[in-house]
Amino acid sequence: MAKVVDPDTGRVNLFSEDFARCPQAGYAELRSRCPVGRMVMTGSPVISRYEDVAWALRHPEIFSSEMEAQLALGTERPMIPQQIDPPAQTRYRKLLDPHFSRRKMEELAPAIARHATELIDAFEKQGRCEFDSAFAIPLPCSAFLHLLGLPLADLDFFLRLKDGIIRPQKNRPGVPLDQLQGVRKESGAGIYEYFERTLDDREARPREDMLTALMRAEIEGERLSRTEILDICFLLLLAGLDTVTATLGCNMAYLAANPEQRRRLVRDPALIPGAVEELLRWETPVVAVPRVVKRNVTIGDVELVEGELATLLLGAANTDDAHFDDAQRVDFERERNIHMAFGAGPHRCLGSHLARMELRVAMEVWHARIPEYRIAPGETVRYSPGIREALYLPLVWEV
């Protein structure tokens, strides 16, 4: 495996394919050699210990999410509520949290299970599938579009826009790095344009969906503006169409490569909720989150300077032996699994209840139908750096 810390410069590289495929050893190297390191290209700080990451996430007055100038994702304005800080962020979360409550998400579980069954029906007798495209993408993405009230027929269009921002080289291989921001801006413009048209339609023809609810919502007696709704929709589209897909693929790749762990879930499906939590900890597909340093602060013995863009390495925090007992062992019955796969503090993931439900239901339905599977002989799982998605996960089983 390629070194995460350059032996000559001490700088950190988090974006290699080797690191994306198996990051845990790299995390350990970071925590032991440079718990606060510096990025290879930019020199910006990378924070890897659980205690430090948790502290930073819980202090947005020092580690701010307001970073639209420093981290352009094709946006014209900050995404709401992710790229704004309390107290304004708190008002939006109070408005949005009820739409993603545990109770409401569990009400969707039967429909998710039916869709999972339908997807498996299409390929089970073939004895093989490419898991990302056949299951990990359509299952959570369809559920999310239904939740927002968007047509499933537009899914491929949405995925192109989302990938144009999160993985701009996925559909445009060979594009030089200095042109990737242009791809993001083009994709971002497409997202704004789509939702402008959709909100016009909701004004003329209201429905019982989340978009209509946002148009009727009020904060302190005032309706949300059109730009506020657009900035919420931008974030929801990126998050709703990517992170559960990425997590599901990472989980299944682990289980395919570790048959005894998989067979435990088949023998005892009651372990699946615990397995979801433990694989969120171990795999942590959202490897890191960025924050802007608002004032000079010392972490460990390293001084971070106001204006720097810090990377809080959630994956490294989640495998820190100083916080988790036997952190390098994947334990589906781990007690008090207080991981940070969904972040922490005021910006903790809005959709965590939805994600947990989708992951649990997907794994229950899959293992009831296809209990014995493995990675296709001679094939290699391909992961994306950044947000770790198993972009190519060929599975086979006996028919």
What integer pLDDT is reported at residue 70 of this predicted model?
45
The answer to whether residue 220 scores a pLDDT higher than 50 is: yes
365-370 LR contacts (CB < 8 Å, sep 24+): 365/113, 365/116, 365/117, 365/120, 366/116, 366/120, 366/135, 366/252, 367/262, 367/265, 367/266, 367/269, 367/272, 368/269, 369/117, 369/120, 369/124, 370/120, 370/124, 370/397
Backbone φ, ψ for residue 293 (5° rounding): -75, 120
What integer pLDDT is reported at residue 256 of this predicted model?
98
CA angle 294, 297, 298 (to 5 degrees): 155
Q: How many residues does the chain have?
A: 399
Query: Is 4 inside a domain boundary?
Result: no
Rg (CA), the chain: 21
Mean pLDDT, rounded, for 51-75:
86
The answer to whether residue 353 scores a pLDDT higher than 80 is: yes
Query: Is 28 inside a domain boundary?
Result: yes
How many CB atoms are located within 10 Å of the residue 139 CB? 25
The answer to whether residue 2 scores a pLDDT higher than 60 is: no
Query: Is 138 inside a domain boundary?
Result: yes
What integer pLDDT is reported at residue 363 of this predicted model?
98
How many CB atoms are located within 10 Å of the residue 173 CB? 6
The answer to whether residue 76 scores a pLDDT higher than 90 is: no
Mean pLDDT, rounded, for 312-316:
97
Angstrom distance (rounded) from CA 132 to CA 66? 33
Whether the Cβ atoms of residue 235 and residue 80 lie closer than 8 Å to each other? yes
Whether the Cβ atoms of residue 95 and residue 323 lie closer than 8 Å to each other? no
DSSP 77-119: S--TTTTS-TTHHHHHHHHHGGGG-HHHHHHTHHHHHHHHHHH
Angstrom distance (rounded) from CA 230 to CA 363? 33
Query: Is 2 inside a domain boundary?
Result: no
How many CB atoms are located within 10 Å of the residue 108 CB? 16
The tokens 């709703």 sit on which residue? 240
The residue ranges of DSSP E strands in 261-362, in sequence order, are 288-293, 297-299, 302-304, 309-313
Pick from 71, 11, 35: nearest CA to 298: 35
User: If you average pLDDT over every residue of the chain, what do you get?
Assistant: 93
CA distances in angstroms from 53 to 100, 140, 299, 339, listed in the order given: 25, 28, 10, 11
Query: Is 5 inside a domain boundary?
Result: no
**Range 261-283 burial, b when 16+ CB lie within 10 A, else e:** bbebbbeeeebbebbbbbbbbbb
Read off the pLDDT of residues 249-281 as tens digits, 9 standing for 90 and up: 999 999 999 999 999 999 999 999 999 999 999
Query: Is 284 inside a domain boundary?
Result: yes
- Report the CATH number that the domain containing residue 236 is assigned in CATH: 1.10.630.10
Query: Is 39 inside a domain boundary?
Result: yes
Angstrom distance (rounded) from CA 261 to CA 267? 10
- How many domains does one find in the chain? 1
Which three-class secondary structure state does DSSP give residue 206?
A: coil
Range in 4-8, 65-69, 130-134, 354-358 with the lowest mean pLDDT = 65-69
Mean pLDDT, rounded, for 315-337:
96
Backbone φ, ψ for residue 176 (5° rounding): -60, 150
The answer to whether residue 59 scores a pLDDT higher than 50 is: yes
Domain containing 348 equals 11-396
